[in-house]
Amino acid sequence: MDQPTTFSISDLAREFNITPRTIRFYEDQGLLAPQREGRTRIFTRRDRTRLKLALRGKRLGFSLAEIAYLIGMYDTARDQNTQLTEFLAGLTQRKVALQQQREDIEALLQEVSAFEEQCRELLLTRAADEAAGVGRTA
């Protein structure tokens, strides 16, 4: 079955499980350039591919500027090695940032666990004191 050569905004929204508003946002950012027939947007395979790349970039945590730069390279670069090298550099930076976030989260989780333990100990101590009648005034 051949893939269609053009797509409506609802076709793309349905395919990628996003809202038409999201597609219009990417259009406003210059990542997509649909043709127009009156008020109707007609998207090409190129637009579909660019949308797919934009959504993948977003999922990987790239900024809109980074996504636009990487997508723009596909339009202008004749050498795919340059594109792949730039993408690899971006992925490496993203990976380092994610690893740092993971370390920060682990440290915070340890701190939260320590505070939880302190609270439990205080509650147990107070419950034991109350059961023993400590702290009661006559």
CB 70, CB 85: distance < 8 Å = no
The pLDDT of 33-48, averaged and rounded, is: 93
The pLDDT of 56-84, averaged and rounded, is: 83
Q: Where does the pLDDT of residue 138 fall: very low under 50, low under 70, confident under 90, or very high at 90 and above?
A: low
Task: Tell me which DSSP letter residue 22 carries.
Answer: H
The pLDDT of 90-102, averaged and rounded, is: 93
β-bridge partners, 44:
6
Q: Where does the pLDDT of residue 81 fall: very low under 50, low under 70, confident under 90, or very high at 90 and above?
A: confident
The pLDDT of 99-119, averaged and rounded, is: 97
The pLDDT of 84-91, averaged and rounded, is: 87
Look up the pTM and report it.
Answer: 0.69
The pLDDT of 6-19, averaged and rounded, is: 96
The pLDDT of 60-70, averaged and rounded, is: 89
Predicted pLDDT of residue 127 = 92
Q: Which two tokens stand for residue 123?
A: 């509650």
Predicted pLDDT of residue 135 = 59
CA atoms within 13 A on the CB side of 129: 10
